[in-house]
Structure 1
Amino acid sequence: MTRLTLKGTPVYTEGHLPVVGHEAPKFTLTGKDLVDVGLEQFGMQRKLLNIVPSLEMPTCAASLRRFNDHARQTPGTVVLSISHDLPFATQSRIDAAQLDRVVALSLFRSPHFARAYGVDIVSGPLKGLTARAVLVLDGHNRVLHAQLVREITDEPDYALAAAALTRSC
């Protein structure tokens, strides 16, 4: 178990964040048209996985805007917004905010993803949702950067994620 906090109160996750230098675990999540989507659908693009509890949380929505800007500056990059939110609802928020580099993916039919990626919250008021994490993958889905945000209400380290995207060019 990994100890995180939610507004200073301890919460725990199970699983392990993928390791830098290793291939990211394969997954099947649900896209905006309720179709199965996996990493292979994004080919050789760099992928920034923005894993969040819910886009209803202001910090989660803010991170999407920032990562969309980073992806615009790094050709060949897609941002995958991963949460338990329904994918068509998330995608409509993304479209309304004109986040052209972001794809909404939902965990609502994928019970194994959260544990495989070390973000499965197993205690506290957000039990059943995911912790906040950011991973940057190269075109071969090798992990270039991985951050599990220790305080769930905090924003991730944008500079480190952006640097990983730049290194992978």
Structure 2
Amino acid sequence: MTQITFKQEPVTLLGSPVKVGDTAPDFTVLANDLSEVNLSKYDGKKKLISVVPSIDTGVCDQQTRKFNQEASQEDGVVLTISVDLPFAQKRWCASNGLDNVITLSDHKDLSFGKSYGVIMEELRFLARSVFVLDENNKLVYTEVVPEGTDFPDFEAALNAYKNI
């Protein structure tokens, strides 16, 4: 088990950690309309998966905006995954005027969190992290942020995404 901090308090990560070079594991999450979405929906596209503890917090809001703004010009897809309910994600997108943001909820059974090793056991949130996958679902970049209230390394993640 890996340990990180959240608000300077230690938390334990559960699930199966992934690393660069691995084939990204499949997962099932919910779209804002409650339909199930799997990784295979995005086969043939490069993917930047931005993981946030809760879309309604300042750092998560900024992370979601930054990745969607910076990476949306690329030929691929940017996914934001959290354990927020699909209704909350939909409301956040609408209230912020963001029509092209793809938010997905791992609330139902933590399928994504288990498959990528980013469930914060003590909080039942997903740890702030970023995963970049090529068109064949090979992991080319991973980052689990050591302190959950800090930003990820935007530049490194975006460079990995843009250079696939």
Q: TM-score, normalised by structure 1?
A: 0.89
- State the Cα RMSD in Å: 1.5
Counterpart of 1:134 in 2: which secondary structure?
A: strand
Counterpart of 1:53 in 2: which secondary structure?
A: coil
Would you say the 8 A contact 1:78–1:101 is kept in 2? Answer: no
Letter in 2 for 1:61: D
Q: Distance in 2 between matches of 1:80 and 1:26?
A: 14
Segments of structure 1 that go 5 or more residues without pairing to the other structure are none
In the TM superposition, residue 148 of structure 1 has moved relative to its aligned partner by: 0.2
Kindly tell me the number of residue pairs found equivalent between the two proteins.
164
Would you say the 8 A contact 2:29–2:111 is kept in 1? Answer: no
Structure 1 stretches of 4+ with a deviation exceeding 4 A read none
Q: Distance in 1 between matches of 2:95 and 2:43?
A: 26
| Percent sequence identity over aligned pairs | 38
Alignment of 1:1-80 (within 5 A): 1-74=1-74, 76-80=75-79
Would you say the 8 A contact 1:91–1:103 is kept in 2? Answer: no
Residue number in structure 1 paired with 2:84: 85
Residue number in structure 2 paired with 1:104: 103
In the TM superposition, residue 26 of structure 1 has moved relative to its aligned partner by: 0.2
Q: Distance in 2 between matches of 1:77 and 1:23?
A: 18
Q: Deviations over 1:31-65 (max 9, x none)?
A: 11100001111232211111111112210110011
In the TM superposition, residue 96 of structure 1 has moved relative to its aligned partner by: 3.6
Counterpart of 1:23 in 2: which secondary structure?
A: coil
Residue number in structure 2 paired with 1:128: 124
**Mapped pair 1:158 → 2:154:** yes
